[in-house]
A and B are shown apart, each in its own frame.
Chain A
């Protein structure tokens, strides 16, 4: 299991983005730190740039003015094409040299390593706005994929009186659990599907470990808000809702259940990685489906 922690040294984290003034990643005003790398491969992933654990080059074609600065900056001949900007991703070493010179931010390097001090300095900036409720949320990707350093960051936040939340897919090394719970004020715990077979089909992994970790986290006293994505035609069935409801009932420190209706915007983010837009309109649940889910889950 230890290999899941191999991506970083203990005092550094690979960050895709730090977003301030987030209002829907937990209570109050929050600074959300998105960490890179995720063990799941959800078909509906909204943040595909956080999946891979290593740094990646993002390219937003719409912003490119064709100035050619990137071509000059790259030592590996990645940028080519005459009429249209082409990127040979195979050759890219993710060194970031091209992104550094791109005048429009059409190119960005996603997943820079930052020291915990650097991240804390960013988090501190909005301290005046956190009050008693707000604080920091680690998200991703799967924050605990960078386990020890993520936990250390949470510990330091706690020490400074900043409320801590973690948005997790639940799929992580169970040996981290006790420590994770001890430094996390609130878990936003994804339960993508309660059907094991479907879970494997749509996310690439079984939900067994996720549910096991969930109940163990609960046993450790973790405060948990369940987050359930609703994907029309995939998990919009009564059986799933019933199981969510009973899961919710089984937790002794439940903070609520958030339903997250699938939306198609995340799909276009895949194009930044040179992949096809994976957004699917037919997955967007209708108002009625959302209402029904809310009704049946009863929270």
Chain B
């Protein structure tokens, strides 16, 4: 039972054999494969289906799902509840009518688990009943009825687990816990973990991909109390919590599906301040770190909120876990994120609650509707400003070129804004007179989002407190490098005219090797701490953020700016022409806020400095930086201190979010050859983790390319 470690070091053992075996078997696909056979329920036999409203169809689907779902109880499990339909893993509600999945499910949100733990499902039902009474006879009624139906469905599924566990003495604890939770408030740590897991599993069963959020904040007080009362030891608590993580890797089937199978956005946040500004870090924080360290489970991409006062012991512990690789831990600069949220209009107490959406985009959990709109800034530069090199464009100076380009960015954000109009219906003359248009049903997640039940509006129909559509700029480094090369070559050194350069680019640098090499090597690009080019990046991000903000509150959404590519640069690359900074058409592009692979030569600190020169408080959705480190470079006490130093510097300089991954390109190539030997090897892809061998070849190659240049 070896859990893969990139640095070749033995992972420490704290958990008992049975738990370790459970983890090992789960990681090796013992439980997920049957989801391939049981993909979805079939609604073909439902009477009158055709004449039902969308919402009624959804309700029938959920009712059928909870009745027909296979009950899975794993050997020795300490927590029960399992999402067992394959279609859910593919982001759909696992119900079909005439062979078609009836609708997509919801992701990119972290729901309000706090209410479930502290008040229970009964409380949610009471709210729904009251709201229904209040909204009787209005157009809110159908949604609120749907809420109650979904709560009934929850009870049915819950009841089936109680039945399955009742007469099995080995699962007595599971049964006893489930008799109380999630319906009633959790009264101790074990119940709280079961309550959290069962609710989460229900959301997943119905197809949704929620994040977990701040697990130490959610569970810390329960554990403190149990420890004080002598009900539980830390070792016992670790076992229970380990089962939570292990249950989280049964939802895989190990199939190659492009971006990998572990990326179900079950993100976790650790540490940081609570609403009142007090540090949250507690015993649960350290237990999570212990578990990640021992089992290397990557299915819950975990981030740590770090601030200037973060304890040295904690940072060292984080660094220790990071060194085993797998990209299981990332870092938020808490103060900066809170500043960004304040700047975006949140109250301080609200901003302090931030978690992420299941990826790294920041949101207030349980209160936020979120989606994002990615676009490639390099495409705009090439195809609009430089008209894909047809030689017709010219600009008197760099400033005019830049302004033209920013106008294109504005055009892109404007298009995103315009595309939102379909969600609103005009009901009057003033710009404020509109109402939400009915959307695809999503009652199950709406139950756990503050505002939905109160307003009688679903998650997608303006129910939540905050409704965000975030334009995300991609291709940052590639664009900035291109702009910089044009600025130097054409406008400063005047080596050739813009038209001549376009001519060369159109021919993909053919016959211009000397010039190409010189452009590639003699300028210092984004990621090398070159103030001149970093200023272009900072300016571009600032201008982009201003554009986004200008669309705020012109409809039901706000438009916080973000930077991301996630993995999209793989799809973009083949469609991009030669770049002014010396790359040929179709070459590998940059990820998120990271430098273009191969252009950074000064190491991680220089990359962080380049990135931090932008005012990231303007990017309220987030801006992720991937940092790749070789296992050998973070070895020993020196290496540990270096990782801590990297995190501290990142915070001091005003970074937003950093995903350091300790990986080795050579090892990854080997895993590509012999996947069977590397089943538990995970990598940080971009905001999420995946077991490397479940990525398809293109994605694997991208991850390898990103690690090649460290």
Where the two chains meet, the residues of A that have a C-beta atom closer than 8 Å to any C-beta of B are 19-21, 23-24, 26-29, 65, 67, 69, 103-105, 125-126, 128-131, 133-134
Contact = CB atoms under 8 A, between A and B. Distances in A.
A223 B49 CA distance: 82
Contact of B645 (A24, A104, A131): A131
Nearest to B514: A67
Contact of A129 (B513, B521, B605, B638): B605
A128 B646 contact: no
A62 to B, nearest CB: 13
B645 A133 contact: yes
A165 to B, nearest CB: 11
B517 A23 contact: no
Contacts, number: 83
Contact of B522 (A19, A28, A65, A103): A103
16 contacts: A21-B604, A24-B633, A27-B641, A28-B642, A29-B645, A65-B513, A105-B522, A125-B605, A126-B605, A128-B652, A129-B605, A129-B645, A131-B645, A133-B641, A133-B645, A134-B642
Top 7 A-B residue pairs of the complex, sorted by shortest distance between their CB atoms: A21-B603, A129-B649, A103-B518, A103-B517, A29-B645, A23-B642, A128-B649
A134 B645 contact: yes
Given A67-B514, A103-B522, A104-B517, A125 B644 contact: no
B644 to A, nearest CB: 7
Contact of B605 (A20, A67, A69, A105): A20
B603 A20 contact: yes
B140 to A, nearest CB: 52
B36 to A, nearest CB: 45
Nearest to A105: B521
A19 B521 CA distance: 18
B605 A28 contact: no
Q: Which has the most chain A C-beta neighbours within 10 Å: B518, B605, B644, B653? A: B605
Contacts of A29: 605, 641-642, 645-646, 649
A134 B638 CA distance: 9
Contacts of B648: 128-129, 131
A23 B634 contact: yes
A157 B517 CA distance: 37
A16 to B, nearest CB: 16
Contacts of A103: 514-515, 517-518, 521-522
Contacts of B653: 128
A125 B641 CA distance: 18
B567 interface: no
B521 A104 contact: yes
Interface residues of B, number: 30
Interface string B618-654: 0000000000000001101111011011101100110
A126 B521 contact: no
A158 B122 CA distance: 64
Contacts of A23: 633-634, 638-639, 641-642
Contacts of B603: 19-21
B632 to A, nearest CB: 9
Q: Which has the most chain A C-beta neighbours within 10 Å: B522, B633, B641, B652? A: B641
A28 B641 contact: yes
Given A23-B634, A103-B521, A128-B648, 20 more contacts: A20-B602, A21-B602, A21-B605, A21-B642, A27-B638, A27-B641, A28-B641, A65-B517, A67-B517, A104-B521, A125-B529, A128-B609, A128-B649, A128-B653, A129-B605, A129-B646, A129-B648, A131-B649, A133-B641, A134-B641
Q: Which has the most chain A C-beta neighbours within 10 Å: B518, B606, B608? A: B518
Interface string B513-543: 1110110011000000100000000000000
Contacts of A19: 603
A108 to B, nearest CB: 11
Interface in B573-632: 602-606, 608-609
Nearest to B519: A103
A237 to B, nearest CB: 26
Contacts of B522: 103, 105
Nearest to B607: A21
Interface in B442-471: none
A133 B634 CA distance: 15
Contacts of B644: 28, 131
Contacts of B646: 29, 129
B301 to A, nearest CB: 25
Contacts of A20: 602-603, 605-606
Nearest to B633: A23
Nearest to B606: A20
A25 to B, nearest CB: 9
Contacts of B606: 20-21, 125
B638 A24 contact: yes
A126 B521 CA distance: 23
Contacts of B652: 128
